[in-house]
Amino acid sequence: MTARLFVTLTLVLGSVALGELVGPRGWRLYDDAAQAVAGAAAAWVCLAAASRRTGVQRRWRLLAGVGLACWSVVRLWWVVRDIADPDRATGSIGDVGFFVLPVCMLLALLSVPYSRPRPVPTSARRDQIALIIDSVLIAGSLLALTLSAVPEHLVSWEGLRPAVVGLAAAYPIADLLLFTMVVLLLATRPGSPAGRYPMHLAGIALIGFGVSDTLRLIHLGDGPLTPLQSAGYLIGCSFVALAAVSRPALALAGTPDLMVAERDWLHLLLPYVPVTATGVVIAISTGAGHQLSPFEAYLGWLGLGLVVARQMFTIVDNTVLLDRVSEGQQRLHHQAYHDPLTGLANRALFRERLVRALDAHRHRGKPLALLFADLDDFKLINDSFGHAMGDRVLRAIAERLQGCVPSEELVARLGGDEFAVVLDRHPADAEPIGHRILAALREPFVIDGHRVGVGASIGLVVPEPGEPLSADALLRRADAAMYSSKRRGKGALARYAGVADGAPHADLPHLLAQALGRPAAAGFEVYYQPIVQLADGVTVAVEALARWTLPAAGGAVHPDVFVTVAERTGQVAAIDDFVLDQACADASRLALVFGRPIDVHVNVSAARLGQPGLEEAVHAALSRHSIPPSRLIIEITETHRIQDLPAAAAAATRLRALGPRIALDDFGSGFNALAQLHSLPVDIVKLDSTLTDVDVEPDRAGAVCRSVLAICDELNITVVAEGIETPARAAALAKLGCPLGQGYLFGQPGPLHRLKPPEIPAQPDPESIQQLTQ
């Protein structure tokens, strides 16, 4: 690019020098001919460069080429007139053809491929109009300053037609306007080198045109310009051609935020700097007794109108910006207080509404009721149909909930499969709403041709008048009532009746947290269920199971209830660690009960695999109670899908390295399947009772059992059949080759002091075994 610039300047200087040698009589013809050739060459360069580009880069080059071509045609017409009439007048009305170039340059500048950074996106047309207004405002102010500073006697256009003078004055004004646009674009618009470098060259070209046009205006009645005075035309054409063939420099890093902010302020202030300066100069001039000329007055009114128009644009911008900000705030507020999946209120909005309702209940006696709903076995839907289907079901459930509840009440999704309803109405109206929700959810959902059934258990709590309850305490009561409903068989509504009346509605999450501080003293104990050899009924292991007796909740709390509560509240690790430590402590006494050391199975939630604390707890329990590590079996109980199976496998491998063996519990149900059997380092598989009913479905269940037994035998994995309740089932499983079994047939879970070796059950006759296993 430097070489092209050097060659261009050399040609311009050579042309000027040659023109000076021609002499004054040949200046006009020489200048017109040289400018026609320069314009035609520049037009050809622009059109040729445009043919190799696309989009905006092609458009502005085409416009520049067309403008230069028209400019050259007018120059060629001047050459013809110079030959026909060497003494012709300097200007004529036919020179209006020169305006094609400024118009094309204006259109090219308006098509620049970048715009001012704005906090609110606007159309390109709006930015183009604002750019024109700012340019006219600045150019008009500079023109007014120039007219007020230039003495009147410096120029004289006596004897010339006003139209010719006005036409000659329009050229430098147009150049000033275009140059102002270039300066504004470079100063206030960040852009790539592809746009900024040609803009610099175009600015130099406009300076060249502007200088020669201004000199031509000044010497309008004095004959033709000298070659040096008209050199600006050659420079203008040459630099437009250079801009057309320029290649951008390497892309620079993104515009810093500080620089963008500075350009934004510059864009706001720059148009008003010359306007202010012009106003000050004119005020001083008129104060000194000088009268404004009509042209200066017209410029003043024009500037005032443009300032008003510019302020209108700013007002519109600010109005649009405020509207967008308001919309954004409303959108953010909605996102902050609503569930993104269902559109229901989220926990934050629910808590805020519940706190207000409690305050109104406490101080003004307004009625209040809270419904807490938990979907029954919803994880099976995700497991069977996938999470996408589960999300669609949740959205459908949300719609039904809203249809069952008056519009003025709040329905919220608290997370997962939990929903809550805040009712500002009498308790007598709350129960019918709860039953209406249950009835609505019993109706199956039809999604993509699948009929999906979903039930729910609902807890209802109504605060007593004047009772000082917090929102958290009220929610815990509703949660406890919901779990009471689940204990009754699910799909029902239970009302919180308090602790004092002995009803089974205790505040389970709170009480569980208290109990796990000192489990043994708070009703927790470990029960053991035998695992026997099916061939002879000899006990080879026991499974340790947690049990919790809570008088405040009406006695024993079902394991499904408190384990689910522990998982939801993040307390399941404390239960696992209590059972693990107690089982290791009882290992020596178990050996005394059964007459020899036996294995101990301890359940661990699959969600803990890879989490801190599990490996440390296993190592500590083994060391503290001096139990041989090989006697401990860690049963992985998967109540939720393992999200990261490789990480879980690595954690199980580390546990195995400590000495215990790994068992996969409830194989064939829920989430436990062949993928886990393949990925996890498993030593034992416990077949779920749904796969061991070979006495009920001997063909299908027997085929499944034989397949699983064959796979496990190939992988050197021991199989334990769960849920054995009859001698016939035990015998049939033994016939199939299953080595170990567990179930009520061999003994129910019981505390250590009531534990005794199970009696060997009577074996059925061989014919019935043969029928079951065929």
Which residue shows structure tokens 């715009």?
A: 115
Question: Where residue 277 falls among pLDDT bands split at 50, 70, 90?
Answer: low
Contact 625, 587 (CB under 8 A): yes
Instruction: Give Cβ neighbours of residue 738 (< 8 Å, ≥ 6 apart).
Output: 534, 687, 705, 709, 719, 721
Contact 606, 638 (CB under 8 A): yes
Mean pLDDT score, 101-128: 70
Instruction: Give Cβ neighbours of residue 534 (< 8 Å, ≥ 6 apart).
Output: 721, 730, 731, 733, 734, 738, 739, 740, 741
Which residue shows structure tokens 């030593």?
A: 683
pLDDT tens readout for residues 538-550: 999 999 999 988 7
Dist. CA 292–CA 277, nearest whole Å: 16
418-422-426 Cα angle (round to 5): 135
- 457, 463, 469, 470: CA torsion to nearest 10: 50
Q: At residue 82, does pLDDT exceed 80? A: no
Which residue shows structure tokens 């209940």?
A: 361
> Residue 518: its pLDDT value, please?
83
Of the candidate ranges 232-236, 247-251, 570-574, the one whose mean pLDDT is the lowest: 247-251
Mean pLDDT score, 624-635: 92
Dist. CA 302–CA 273, nearest whole Å: 16
* 3-state secondary structure at position 680: coil
What backbone phi and psi angles, to 5 degrees, belong to 194? -60, -30
Dist. CA 18–CA 37, nearest whole Å: 15
pLDDT tens readout for residues 283-313: 666 666 666 666 666 666 666 676 777 777 6
Query: What is the DSSP annotation of 191-230?
Result: --HHHHHHHHHHHHHHHHHHHHHHHHHHTTTS-PPPTTTT
How far lies 621's CA from each of 243, 563, 616, in Å? Answer: 81, 22, 9
Residue 695 or residue 94, greater confidence:
695
Dist. CA 613–CA 36, nearest whole Å: 88
Would the pTM of this model clear 0.75, i.e. be above it? no
- HEC readout, 59-76: HHHHHHHHHHHHHHHHHH
Would you say the C-alpha torsion 199, 202, 204, 210 has a positive or negative sign?
negative
> Residue 280: its pLDDT value, please?
65
* 3-state secondary structure at position 684: strand
> Residue 770: its pLDDT value, please?
45
> Residue 291: its pLDDT value, please?
63
Q: Determine the straight-line distance between the first and last CA of the chain, rounded to whole angstroms.
A: 92
> Residue 480: its pLDDT value, please?
79
Percent share of the chain, pLDDT over 70: 76
> Residue 677: its pLDDT value, please?
78
Instruction: Give Cβ neighbours of residue 441 (< 8 Å, ≥ 6 apart).
Output: 375, 397, 400, 454, 455, 456
Cβ neighbourhood burial of 182 (10 Å; 0-12, 13-18, 19+): buried
Backbone angle region of 191, left / alpha / beta, with phi > 0 → left and psi within -120 to 50 → alpha = beta
> Residue 529: its pLDDT value, please?
94
Instruction: Give Cβ neighbours of residue 359 (< 8 Å, ≥ 6 apart).
Output: none
Q: At residue 528, does pLDDT exceed 80? A: yes
Of the candidate ranges 11-15, 688-692, 713-717, the one whose mean pLDDT is the lowest: 11-15
* 3-state secondary structure at position 623: helix
Nearest Cα to Cα of residue 418 among 493, 341, 467, 479: 479
Mean pLDDT score, 231-244: 87
Percent share of the chain, pLDDT over 90: 20
Q: At residue 16, does pLDDT exceed 80? A: no
> Residue 500: its pLDDT value, please?
38
Per the DSSP assignment, residues forming a β-bridge with 547 are: 525
Mean pLDDT score, 503-509: 54
Question: Where residue 758 falls among pLDDT bands split at 50, 70, 90?
Answer: low
724 sits in which H/E element: none
Could you tell me the two tokens for 81? 């007139």
Question: Where residue 661 falls among pLDDT bands split at 50, 70, 90?
Answer: very high
* DSSP-derived pairing of the beta strands 493-495 and 455-461: parallel
Q: Per-residue b/e over 439-474, b at no fewer than 16 CB within 10 Å?
A: eebeeebeeeeeebebebbbbbbbbeeeeebebebb
Q: Per-residue b/e over 694-720, b at no fewer than 16 CB within 10 Å?
A: bbeebeebbebbeebbeebeeeebbbb
Question: Where residue 256 falls among pLDDT bands split at 50, 70, 90?
Answer: very low
Give the chain's mean pLDDT: 79
Query: What is the DSSP annotation of 597-609?
Result: --EEEEEEEGGGT
Contact 612, 553 (CB under 8 A): no
> Residue 721: its pLDDT value, please?
92
Residue 2 or residue 696, greater confidence:
696
Count the residues in the chain: 774
Question: Where residue 496 falls among pLDDT bands split at 50, 70, 90?
Answer: confident
Residue type, 334: H
pLDDT tens readout for residues 575-596: 999 999 999 999 999 999 888 8
Which residue shows structure tokens 């491929």?
A: 113
Could you tell me the two tokens for 483? 């779990």
What backbone phi and psi angles, to 5 degrees, belong to 542? -135, 150
Nearest Cα to Cα of residue 387 among 641, 66, 577: 641
Contact 358, 368 (CB under 8 A): yes
Q: For 533, which DSSP code?
A: E
525 sits in which H/E element: strand 524-533
Residue 132 or residue 638, greater confidence:
132
- 248, 254, 256, 257: CA torsion to nearest 10: 120
Mean pLDDT score, 232-256: 71
Q: At residue 242, does pLDDT exceed 70? A: yes
Residue 360 or residue 567, greater confidence:
360
Instruction: Give Cβ neighbours of residue 607 (< 8 Å, ≥ 6 apart).
Output: 567, 572, 639, 640, 642
> Residue 154: its pLDDT value, please?
57
Alpha-helical runs (H) found in 288-412: 294-337, 347-364, 379-385, 387-404
Residue 150 or residue 191, greater confidence:
150
pLDDT tens readout for residues 664-676: 888 876 555 677 7
99-80-235 Cα angle (round to 5): 50
> Residue 165: its pLDDT value, please?
76
pLDDT tens readout for residues 328-375: 888 888 888 899 999 999 999 999 999 999 988 888 888 899 999 998
Most confident of 34-38, 211-215, 419-423, 441-445: 419-423
Contact 307, 268 (CB under 8 A): no
